[in-house]
Amino acid sequence: AARWRPMSRTFKREQPPQDLSLAPGSTGDDAVRLTARAALSVRPSRIPGAGHGLFTTVTLPANAVVNGCTYGGKVMTLMEARRSKCKDYTMALHFNVHVDAANYPGYLARYINDNLEQGGARRNVKFVKDAEGRTARVMTLREVAVGEELYAEYGDGYWRHRGESK
């Protein structure tokens, strides 16, 4: 069983932490204060070639917001997002509100991958977008067991941009 442990250090955003949990994301400065509960862990994804993934270290209940797991970053308009060369970490929150998490590893939701196996049946979370707040939160679709990688649907636009289909 996972153990809860207090954490009171701060990290710089240059590299993803080994076990950053329930971080509130960016508050405009260059550091994120860690909270007392370790519910998530960043480590290599189980999807070949996907890079890092986000894993649970405790069981997450169904239909719950994953506290501290937000998606955010550099806020852009639609035109700025279209001009961006790399769109791997860009999420549309609204027609003219986009965020790019490429340079913001403190936003844990950026490590959530889309698993297309079995028609996406392995997806266990979804993004809940908040254009006004310039972020997206993460909500579980079902109970997520300890050690599971979090998977969410990226949407057709993400895959079309890469010449792939779902």
Domain range for residue 124?
Answer: 10-152
Please report whether residue 26 resides in a domain.
yes
pTM above 0.85, yes or no: no
Give the whole-angstrom CA distance, residue 58 versus residue 60: 6
d(CA 114, CA 155): 9
Q: What is the mean pLDDT of each run of 10 residues along the chain (166 residues)?
A: 41 36 37 48 95 95 91 96 92 95 95 90 96 95 96 86 71
Residue 165 belongs to a domain = no
Structurally, how many domains does the chain consist of?
Answer: 1
Question: What pLDDT score was predicted for residue 96?
Answer: 94
Kindly report, residue by residue over 81-116, the tens digit of the pLDDT: 999 988 999 999 999 999 999 999 999 999 999 998
Asked if residue 57 is part of any domain, the answer here is: yes
Residues in the chain: 166
Q: Is residue 147 part of a domain?
A: yes
Q: What is the CATH number of the domain that holds 80?
A: 2.170.270.10
Which backbone phi and psi does 104 adopt, to 5 degrees? Answer: -130, 70
What confidence tens digit (pLDDT) does each residue in 52-62 have? 999 999 999 99
Q: What is the mean pLDDT of the chain?
A: 80
